[in-house]
């Protein structure tokens, strides 16, 4: 039996709680963690417009068109291909807009009087709620651990907006009397009446304060002024939703001069489909091409500091999808160079972790086995090193480096 907003299928039993808390947080944090994004929501007598800059490191951005069924509303969702539902924002058939901003951990704790919701929260709100009042009811009914690492901006067709966040031990619905609301990557409740600690927020409000009438063009200019570039994060895509007309404007890789305009109703009629944004924007700038080429390295660099496994998973997704999406192979040299840099920094164990990944990805390449063998020998793991040297010679019987290394190990009496 579904609740008013259709939440029933996501309720869980207590013994699954720890596992599903991790999964639920990972679903939202894997793409958002420590990456900036800027959300603009503006309203007027006849307008309700919301826009978003999505900043990340993967070019595998997607848009999904999901028709309604007997349980959930139709919606158009934006996000990244991450091997799971990684919806980052979108709008639904009722003109509800939802997005997310990453935050440092907020100290979220569950309320024992509430039921537990686990899953892709942004997608579920779009699928199940018509307006911000129903979104409020959702958060009153359910514990949602995603609030430990994110805040959720919401706007509906009436022009009502809010940002859902965790502050001082409770869920807060941060609203404003202004005709605009800006959400970036800090907890707004903690900075009421204080100077805001984000240049993007300050720049956006500076521009919006100068306007008496808002429009799609104005929101676009604010997004343009607050986009980011660099090796650690880029504005991968932006979108603007006119919640009253259902028109959606998409911009790829912070190119605000080349929008793609869609209409919600017309696109949903085409059926359930997911499309890479790269396929919708065939004219690629040299900057975008360079970003695509470097993204696997960026992904490794960005995530390896916190989790080698997360870095390896994200890299693996790019490696598997690049041939289909970009007609480009991700070769062994990417991890080879990355592992070498790790070892130069004294992170020998981490370098070996990624070189082992390379041998699994490219088992028939003698060079990757030789690189791993040298790293293992440096770590005094000679038993494993000799196996990799011999594997190198199986693939390349004339490999001089492997022959020399085996001879040296024999001279010291080990083999």
Query: Phi/psi class of residue 264: alpha, beta or left (left: φ > 0; alpha: ψ in -120 to 50)?
Result: alpha
As a whole number, mean pLDDT of residues 207-222 equals: 96
Distance, in Å, from the CA atom of 25 to the CA atom of 121, rounded to the nearest integer, reads 9
DSSP secondary structure of 230-249: SSS-EEEEEEEEETTT-EEE
Give the burial class of 117: count Cβ atoms within 10 A of its Cβ; 0-12 exposed, 13-18 middle, 19 or more buried.
buried
Tell me the domains of the chain and their CATH numbers. 8-283 (3.60.60.10), 292-411 (1.25.40.10)
Strand 161-167, strand 273-276: pairing: unpaired
Distance, in Å, from the CA atom of 386 to the CA atom of 382, rounded to the nearest integer, reads 6
Which residues are within 8 A (CB) of 351 and not within 5 positions of it... i.e. 6 or more apart?
339, 340, 342, 343, 375
pLDDT computed for residue 24 by the predictor: 43
**More confidently predicted of 264 and 3:** 264
pLDDT at residue 17 greater than cutoff 80: no
pLDDT computed for residue 241 by the predictor: 98
pLDDT in tens, 172-193: 999 999 999 999 999 999 999 9
pLDDT computed for residue 84 by the predictor: 67
As a whole number, mean pLDDT of residues 103-124 equals: 94
Place 409 in a pLDDT band, splitting at 50, 70 and 90. Answer: confident
Place 148 in a pLDDT band, splitting at 50, 70 and 90. Answer: very high
pLDDT computed for residue 131 by the predictor: 98
pLDDT at residue 21 greater than cutoff 70: no
**10 Å Cβ neighbour count for 358?**
23
| Angle between helix 121-128 and helix 132-141 axes, rounded to 10 deg | 130
pLDDT at residue 12 greater than cutoff 90: no
pLDDT computed for residue 230 by the predictor: 87
| Mean pLDDT lowest among 24-28, 44-48, 202-206, 375-379 | 24-28
pLDDT in tens, 265-317: 999 999 999 999 999 998 889 999 999 999 999 888 888 777 888 889 889 99
Share of the chain above pLDDT 70, in %: 90
Q: How many residues does the chain have?
A: 415
Place 155 in a pLDDT band, splitting at 50, 70 and 90. Answer: very high
What integer best gives the mean pLDDT of the chain? 90
As a whole number, mean pLDDT of residues 337-354 equals: 95
As a whole number, mean pLDDT of residues 109-120 equals: 93
| Mean pLDDT lowest among 19-33, 127-141, 197-211, 378-392 | 19-33
pLDDT computed for residue 415 by the predictor: 55
pLDDT computed for residue 85 by the predictor: 63
**10 Å Cβ neighbour count for 238?**
29
205: helix, coil or strand? Answer: helix
**In 208-237, which positions are buried (b, 16+ CB within 10 angstroms) versus exposed (e)?**
beeeeebebebbbebbbebbbeeeebbbbb
As a whole number, mean pLDDT of residues 6-15 equals: 37
pTM, 2 dp: 0.88
């Amino acid at each position: 039996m579904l609740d008013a907003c259709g939440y029933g299928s996501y309720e869980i039993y207590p013994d699954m709680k720890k596992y599903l808390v991790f999964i639920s947080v990972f679903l939202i944090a894997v793409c958002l963690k420590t990456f900036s994004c800027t959300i603009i929501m503006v309203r007027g007598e006849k307008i309700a417009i919301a826009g978003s800059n999505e900043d990340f490191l993967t070019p595998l951005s997607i848009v999904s068109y999901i028709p309604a069924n007997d349980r959930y509303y139709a919606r158009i969702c934006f996000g990244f291909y991450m091997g799971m539902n990684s919806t980052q924002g979108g709008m639904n058939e009722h003109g509800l807009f939802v997005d997310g901003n990453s935050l440092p951990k907020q100290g979220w704790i569950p309320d024992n009087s509430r039921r537990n919701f686990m899953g892709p929260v942004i997608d579920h709100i779009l699928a199940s709620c018509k307006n911000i009042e129903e979104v409020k009811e959702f958060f009153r009914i359910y514990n949602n651990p995603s609030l430990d690492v994110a805040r959720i901006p919401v706007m509906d067709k009436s022009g009502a907006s809010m940002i859902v966040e965790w502050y001082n031990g409770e869920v807060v619905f941060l609203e404003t009397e202004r005709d605009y609301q800006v959400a970036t990557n800090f907890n707004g409740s903690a900075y009421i009446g204080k100077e805001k600690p984000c240049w993007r927020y300050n720049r956006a409000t500076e521009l919006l304060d100068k306007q008496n009438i808002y429009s799609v063009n104005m929101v676009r200019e604010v997004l343009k002024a607050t986009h980011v570039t660099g090796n650690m994060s880029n504005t991968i895509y932006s979108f603007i939703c006119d919640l009253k007309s259902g028109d959606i404007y998409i911009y790829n890789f912070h190119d605000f001069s080349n929008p793609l305009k869609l209409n919600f109703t017309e696109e949903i009629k085409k059926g359930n489909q997911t499309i890479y944004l790269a396929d919708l924007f065939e004219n690629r700038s040299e900057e975008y091409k360079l970003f695509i080429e470097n993204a696997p390295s960026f992904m490794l660099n960005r995530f390896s500091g916190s989790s080698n496994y997360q870095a390896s998973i994200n890299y693996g997704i790019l490696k598997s999808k690049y041939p289909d999406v970009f007609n480009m192979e991700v070769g062994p040299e990417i991890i080879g160079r990355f592992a070498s840099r790790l070892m130069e920094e004294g992170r020998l164990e981490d370098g070996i972790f990624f070189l082992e990944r390379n041998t699994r990805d490219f088992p028939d390449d003698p060079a990757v086995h030789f690189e791993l063998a040298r790293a293992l020998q440096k770590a005094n793991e000679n038993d494993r090193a000799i196996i990799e040297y011999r594997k190198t010679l199986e693939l390349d019987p004339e490999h001089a480096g492997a022959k020399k290394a085996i001879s040296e190990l024999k001279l010291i009496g080990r083999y």
